[in-house]
Structure 1
Amino acid sequence: MFLQRRSSQKVTYPDYYTNACCSHPLYIDEKPEEIITAARRRMNHELGIPLDQLDPELFTFMTRVHYHDPGDGVWGEHEIDHILFFQSDVKVKPNSDEISEYCFVPKAEFNSFLPTLEGPITPWFNMIRRHRLKLWWDNLHRIKELAEPEKIQKFVDKK
Structure 2
Amino acid sequence: MGDAVASDAAMDAVQRRLMFEDECILVDSYDHVVGHDSKYNCHLMEKIESENLLHRAFSVFLFNSKFELLLQQRSSTKVTFPLVWTNTYCSHPLFRESELIEENSLGVRNAAQRKLFDELGIPAEDVPVDQFTPLGRILYKAPSDGKWGEHELDYLLFITRDVKVNPNPDEVAEIKYVNRDELRELLRKADAGEGGLKLSPWFRLVVDNFLFKWWDHVEKGTLTDAIDMKTIHKLT
TM norm structure 1: 0.91
Give the direction of change, closer, same or farther, for the CA distance of 1:117–1:128 in structure 2 (3 Å limit): farther
Shift of residue 102 of structure 1? 0.5
Of Structure 1 and Structure 2, which has the larger fraction of its residues in helix?
Answer: 2
Unaligned runs of 5+ in 2: 1-68
Q: Determine the structure 1 residue equivalent to 2:124.
A: 51
Shift of residue 108 of structure 1? 3.1
For residues 105-127 of structure 1, what are the alpha-carbon distances to aligned partners after superposition, in whole Å with 9 as ceiling and x for unaligned?
01232212331664210000011
User: How big is the alpha-carbon RMSD for the aligned residues of Structure 1 and Structure 2?
Assistant: 1.5
Kindly indicate whether the alpha-carbon contact (under 8 Å) linking 1:131 and 1:155 is maintained by their aligned counterparts in 2. Answer: no
Find out whether 1:134 has 2:212 as its counterpart.
Answer: yes
For 1:121 and 1:4, the matched residues in 2 are separated by 10
Secondary structure at the counterpart of residue 96 of structure 1: coil
Shift of residue 139 of structure 1? 1.4
Find out whether 1:5 has 2:73 as its counterpart.
Answer: yes
Find out whether 1:16 has 2:89 as its counterpart.
Answer: no
Find out whether 1:101 has 2:169 as its counterpart.
Answer: no
Unaligned runs of 5+ in 1: none
Find out whether 1:119 has 2:197 as its counterpart.
Answer: yes
Q: Determine the structure 1 residue equivalent to 2:18.
A: none
Q: Which has the larger radius of gyration?
A: 2
Of Structure 1 and Structure 2, which has the larger fraction of its residues in strand?
Answer: 2
Query: Which piece of structure 1 moves more, 110-119 or 100-109?
Result: 110-119
Give the direction of change, closer, same or farther, for the CA distance of 1:58–1:97 in structure 2 (3 Å limit): same
Counterpart amino acid of residue 6 in structure 1: R
TM norm structure 2: 0.63
For 1:103 and 1:117, the matched residues in 2 are separated by 17
Give the direction of change, closer, same or farther, for the CA distance of 1:25–1:84 in structure 2 (3 Å limit): same
Specify which structure has the bigger relative contact order, considering alpha-carbon pairs within 8 angstroms and separated by 6 or more residues. Answer: 1
